[in-house]
Amino acid sequence: MSWLRIKGIKVLPLILVMLFSTLVLSGCVTTKSGGFASKADDKKAFETSLQLARSYIAQGNWDQAKRHLQYVEAEDKNNPETLEALALVFQNTGELELAEQYYLRSIRLAPNASRVRNNYAAFLYARGRYEEAATQLEVVVQELLYERRVEAFVNLGRCYLQLGQLTKAEDAFKRAFLMQGDDAAVLMSLAEVYFRMERFADSQRFYDAYLSKNPTQSAAALWLGIRLADKFDDKNSHASFALALKNLYPKSEEYLLYKAYMQQGNR
């Protein structure tokens, strides 16, 4: 190798100096195999993929959600948020056994995660497992700072309605009413439970309050309105609600109940 001489001192050629410098610098660069930058990048990629998965879940794009969740699960198999997201995906793609497994794993790892319990309760309710759903919601409503606590009380009351436990249902709905007395779902729930308890004046009062907040009624609300109208011999309201139920919800369960009700000679 030929050396250059500058004032009697041998030096390497410039091109070799640059090459050595490049090699030295490249040895200082943090790669994926370790280092603080790698850990930060991995964490950011994990969080981004989880956020994207939740966004796709909200859109109902289950395939894309699964793609991102496969990555985050590979990175951390025991992350409660990942497990919950997978449970939601499997629930909505009909893989119900898998969905329940993921819900339960998420709850075991994060027993105080009210959102997961609330979602699991909805899963159980949809399967007709009302007592199990109520058990989950009884835990959820104890979380004072849970942002969907009113909804959790309403859902707990609905579980008790399905179980025929009317006093417990009333208590749950009243707790929701104390927290958010102008909520349409709360008002409708109280109207329903009081009708079942044969407290028709109370039922009518909450039903009227519901109508003032929600003039566009659901099938369930119209069906309750018909029965209340009959209790108070209000033929005009009965006819109006019955016509709306027939026109708006002709294939609903409530309309089928109404037709059976009429065939039994209730009017």
Over pLDDT 70: what percentage of the chain? 84
Q: If pLDDT is split at 50, 70 and 90, which confidence band does 267 have?
A: low
For CA atoms 120, 124, 130, 135, give the dihedral sign: negative
Burial class (CB in 10 A: 0-12, 13-18, 19+), 120: buried
Q: What is the pLDDT of residues 144-159, one digit of tens each?
A: 999 999 999 999 999 9
249 in Cβ contact with 219 (< 8 Å): yes
pLDDT at 140: 97
d(CA 185, CA 169): 14
By C-alpha distance, which of 107, 112, 185 is closest to 144?
Answer: 112
> Rounded to the nearest 5 degrees, what angle is found at the Cα of 218, between the Cα atoms of 214 and 223?
115
Beta bridge partners of 11: 4
5 vs 24, higher pLDDT? 5
Tokens of 22: 């490049």
- Residues 141 and 137: their CA atoms lie apart, in Å, by 6
- Give residue 38's pLDDT: 53
> What would the pLDDT profile of 94-132 be if each residue is shown by its tens digit?
999 999 999 999 999 999 999 999 999 999 999 999 999
pLDDT for 42: 66
Mean pLDDT across the chain, nearest whole number? Answer: 86
d(CA 13, CA 49): 49
| Residue 39's pLDDT band (cuts 50, 70, 90) | low
Using alpha carbons only, what angle is made at residue 165 by residues 163 and 168, rounded to the nearest 5 degrees?
Answer: 125
Q: Report the pLDDT averaged over residues 70-74.
A: 82
Q: Is the predicted pLDDT of residue 51 greater than 90, yes or no?
A: no
CB-CB contact of 67 with 57 (8 Å): no
Buried b (16+ CB within 10 A) or exposed e, 25-43: eeeeeeeeeeeeeeeeeee
* Per-residue pLDDT at 155: 97
Per-residue pLDDT tens digits for 75-99: 788 889 889 999 999 999 999 999 9
For the chain, how are helix, strand and coil distributed in percent, rounded to 5? 75, 0, 25
Rounded to two decimals, the pTM is 0.79
Q: What are phi and psi of 214, to 5 degrees?
A: -145, 75
